[in-house]
Amino acid sequence: MESTAEFPLAFFDWYLENEIQRDLKKFYTNITEELYFNNTDEIDNVNHIIKVLNIHHDEVASEYITFSFEHSSKSKLKQEVKRAKEFIELGFQKRFSDKKEVRAYADFLRIKLNSLFSNSACKEFPFLLLYLGQLDSLIDQYSKQSTNYSYTPSFVFIAKTPEEQLSKIKTLYKQLHEKPSVISCSLEEFINAFTGKEIDEGINWLITGKNKNYVSKPSLLYFLDELIDNRFLSRSIINDLYKFIRYVFRDHNGNELKNLKQSREAMSDNPASKDRIDIIISSL
């Protein structure tokens, strides 16, 4: 079985469970029954080392040659570690802009890796710890780097002072919550969403379109455009705006907002609740 991008540790899961014992049997058979039949001097069944008389290698001065299962497995394991590292790095690369996803991915890999460390094969073949340790170190490296990564997962409301920022965010929250509510979330979640902090549940956008079963994504885009145009949000987020929206906002049912680009392209000059949004922005 080979590791894949979806299951980067699949080979080791499969190999430690059964296949390593098959390789061990082949190792003993190859040395004691095929290459050095009747020339075996000593067999260490604990460390899996075989000592044989040197009858084939004149270039080796020693009377005996030692073969170990650890050495015979080295090439295969190095190759599989390399493959696993590539898949793990690819997984982190896909998630690197979202610290929560990075942590979740790292935790998932660690759970799987811990099950490999506790596999009985690691007790019988301690050299396996070296290879699994390389993967463990790689996971730690990427998960720690993401902690220091400067990507802001949510919006940052622009103001002259932290006090003014908090005051305006609270005003915005109050305006959006006046009935009929435009959003649904706690004040704490809203503050986190507009101070560059991580969020838990996200903000539900409640404005719907003509079909009341679907949220009005154009109205949300208009709301954020107005915040940007009025310099309450930085223009630097425009290129990544859809990422910010997907992280912070949900539809009225709490589901992820999708097809934002298509909604932008089909957006009219008069999205749902435009007048109310204009009043809310002007009150800040």
- CA nearest 237: which of 219, 224, 249? 224
The yes-or-no verdict on residue 175 having pLDDT over 90 is: yes
What does the alpha-carbon distance between residue 225 and residue 82 come to, in Å, rounded to a whole number? 46
Residue range 238-245: mean pLDDT, rounded? 89
Distance from C-alpha of 180 to C-alpha of 57, rounded to nearest angstrom: 88
Q: Is the pLDDT of residue 189 over 90?
A: yes
User: Residue 60's pLDDT band (boundaries 50, 70, 90)?
Assistant: low
Report the amino acid identity of residue 195.
T
Q: Model confidence at 131, in pLDDT bands (50, 70, 90)?
A: very high
- Where in the chain are the domains? 10-148, 162-282
Largest CA distance in the chain: 94
The angle subtended at Cα 85 by Cα 81 and Cα 88, nearest 5°, is 135
* Tokens standing for residue 79: 């190759």
pLDDT for 100 equals 77
Distance CA 91, CA 10 (A): 14
d(C-alpha 155, C-alpha 193), whole Å: 6
Comparing C-alpha atoms, which of 55, 69, 60, 77 is closest to residue 11?
A: 77
Tens-digit pLDDT profile for residues 200-212:
899 999 998 887 7
Whether residue 58 has pLDDT greater than 80: no
Q: 193 near 154, Cβ under 8 Å?
A: yes
Helix (H) or strand (E) holding 167: helix 162-177
Give the pLDDT confidence score for residue 36 in this predicted structure: 60
Query: Given this model, what pLDDT does residue 64 score?
Result: 77
The rounded distance, in Å, linking the Cα atoms of 121 and 15 is 9
**146-167: per-residue pLDDT in tens?**
555 545 578 989 988 888 999 9
Mean pLDDT of the residues in the chain: 88
Contact 157, 168 (CB under 8 A): yes
User: What span, in angstroms and rounded, lies between the C-alpha atoms of 127 and 73?
Assistant: 10
Cα gap 70→73, rounded to integer Å: 5
